[in-house]
Amino acid sequence: MLSVSDLPTLNAVLNATAAVLLLVGHRMIRQGRVDAHRRLMLSAFATSALFLTSYVIYHAQAGSRPFAGAGVARITYFSILISHVTLAAAILPLAIVTLRRGLRMRYVEHVRLARWTWPIWMYVSVTGVVIYLMLYHWPGELTIAD
């Protein structure tokens, strides 16, 4: 059974899994493997939905964790965090519309939007893992003053 304190790690694993699914899904469509692409992208969406559910539960129960780093590390952390949060807010509606267009076989519109959705979704998934590492595993090493 998972406890609330396990959820940040679960969230990082879900983000990393989504990133891998997105990467492989992108490769599959480049190879013309539409069915594999569809399955992988739906799996990425489901994984991201699980992440969002876990994230909300964690923050409702535990609140936020302050960043312990200082100096350049602090500036770097908040730069990543601000861009991550901003793009994370945009990715949910983008992903839903992109998936909907693909599932409805509106491929021209799907591809046009996917060219924006995919890199943003990748960035959000990867930076989610980076934020987790900076908050939970690197704070001791990231106290470098400028």
Q: What is the pLDDT of residues 86-97, one digit of tens each?
A: 999 999 999 999
Q: How far apart (Å, rounded) are the C-alpha atoms in residues 53 and 64?
A: 16
Q: What is the DSSP string of 55-71?
A: HHHHHHHH--------H
Q: Which domains does the chain have, with CATH numbers?
A: 4-136 (1.20.120.80)
Write b or e for each residue in 4-32: b if 16 or more Cβ atoms lie within 10 A of its Cβ, otherwise e: eeebbebbbebbbbbbebbbebbebbeee
- The 10s digit of each residue's pLDDT in 19-66 is 999 999 999 999 999 999 999 999 999 999 999 999 999 999 999 999
Whole-structure pTM value = 0.92
